[in-house]
Amino acid sequence: MKKFSNTYRFIPYIPELKRRNDWIQCVNQLVNRYNQDNISRTKAYQAFFLLHPEIKWSFLASMVSRNAGWNMTDLKGEIFQGLLSRKTCDILFETYERANWSIFQDAFPQLLLYHYSTLYEKKMFHFFKDFHISHFMEDEWNRFWEERDERRLVQSLIINEQHLIQGPVIEHDLYKRRVFGTSLFFIEDHLHFSSVLFPTLSGDLYGASVQGFRKVENRIKLGNILFELLFHPDYHCFFLEFALRVEHTGSRTDYEKYCRGVPDTNTPVLKKAYGEITHNWAHHKDWSVGKIMDGNWYKKQDLPDDVIMTKWFFHKQQQLKKMAVAKKFFKGIWPSRKKKKMRTF
């Protein structure tokens, strides 16, 4: 009874309303409720996984969303405030936020329609077009309903999400000009934009990185590696334990408090760092129309030789801190007439 009550609070029961538009509106209200910010998205993904553990992508999404929150609040921490201009920090936040909002706005209706399919004991995936979900994912959910191939569904959702953000975010004129298409994209190597960490209560940080973040095939490969790591029988219980025990705040102190002898990054909680931000989709385009699917996107990925990234990550943090101190020092001693010639990020 308690489980049913908790489920009902998370995803209320919606009867099969006679008016199609009324039912669609109810689902959209749920999507909007949980797509408020990084915190609400992260919690919704995790809650859905606990309700439907066969949908493994949802747990992967929650852990990647935790990383997105940490990256966002990094921009309000003392290291990045010393490295980057306020304008640059703002545009980077917008990039993270826009990508993660877009993925949730597309993916969570899929999860909800699967949930109600299980309640009604019949497929509801024909509603996908009403939520502007790709034909590709409609086919994949229908396939999953029949075959129950959990790995393929995860991989399909990874393929979908990365293609979904390729045009509106990665190749968007604003973000391309101000982030991805500039020399600022040393962030690919130094600002952890392309690295994802899975913390544990023992203080170890597992994870993986990708080179060439702008290429969709590289991000798909990273997603598949992260899936293999997150559900590896040797490690999965540690990641799940952390997720269940540690509430996501957006601050890296969520996991730094479990790491011994490491510097505190002093990042704030997300709710204090950022106010409410709104989004909308002016145009909807099905990325899968006319797209040739690459069989390599479904290739099972081997784990890197070393999946423990604790030392690597905190070494990177120390490097960034030194860079911030050095920049502050040189700005202090540089003649004012030359300051205009200095490169700012």
Mean pLDDT of 6-34: 87
- Residue 109, in any domain of the structure: yes
Q: Which residues are within 8 A (CB) of 190 and not within 5 positions of it... i.e. 6 or more apart?
A: 316, 319, 320, 323
The winner for highest mean pLDDT among 40-44, 166-170, 256-260 is 40-44
Domain region containing 93: 2-274+295-341
**128 within domain boundaries:** yes
- Residue at 14 is within a domain: yes
C-alpha–C-alpha distance, residues 199 and 255, integer Å: 6
Residue 326: name the closest of 342, 337, 340 by CA.
342
Give me the number of domains the chain comprises: 1
Is the pLDDT at 64 greater than 90? The verdict is yes
List the one residue out of 40, 164, 170 whose CA is nearest residue 107: 164
The stretch 51-78 carries a mean pLDDT of: 96
162 contacts 219 by C-beta, under 8 angstroms: yes
Domain assignment present for 289:
no
Three-class SS state of 156: helix
- CA distance linking residue 232 with residue 206, whole number of Å: 12
CA distance 114 to 101: 20
Does the structure show a pLDDT above 90 at 111? yes
Q: Does residue 95 contact residue 72 with C-beta atoms inside 8 Å?
A: no
Whether residue 21 is predicted with pLDDT greater than 60 in this model: the reply is yes
- pLDDT grade for 334, boundaries at 50, 70 and 90: low
- pTM for the whole structure: 0.90
Query: Other C-beta atoms within 10 Å of 286: how many?
Result: 16
Better pLDDT: 144 or 213:
144
Between 291 and 183, name the one with better pLDDT.
Answer: 291
CA atoms within 13 A on the CB side of 316: 15
| pLDDT at 282 > cutoff 90 | no
Instruction: For residue 209, list its beta bridge partners.
Output: 195
Domain assignment present for 8: yes
Range with the poorest average pLDDT among 62-71, 112-121, 253-262: 253-262
**332 falls in which pLDDT band (50, 70, 90)?**
low
Contacts of the segment 298-301: beta carbons below 8 A, 24+ positions apart:
298/152, 298/155, 299/224, 300/151, 300/224, 300/228, 301/221, 301/224, 301/225, 301/228
Say if 283 falls within a structural domain: no
pLDDT category at 20 given cuts 50, 70, 90 is confident
Q: Which of 115, 109, 152 is nearest to 132 (CA)?
A: 109
Determine, yes or no, domain membership for 279. Answer: no
Structure tokens that stand for 166 in this block:
């390729």
Residue 92 and residue 99 in contact, taking contact as beta carbons nearer than 8 Å: no
Task: Tell whether 290 is covered by a domain.
Answer: no
User: With contact defined as beta carbons under 8 Å apart, do 249 and 270 qualify?
Assistant: yes
CA distances from residue 306 to 209, 222, 229, 241, 242 in whole angstroms, order as listed: 11, 15, 11, 21, 20
pLDDT attached to residue 206 = 97
Q: Name the residue type at position 290.
A: G
Per-residue pLDDT averaged across 325-344, rounded?
56
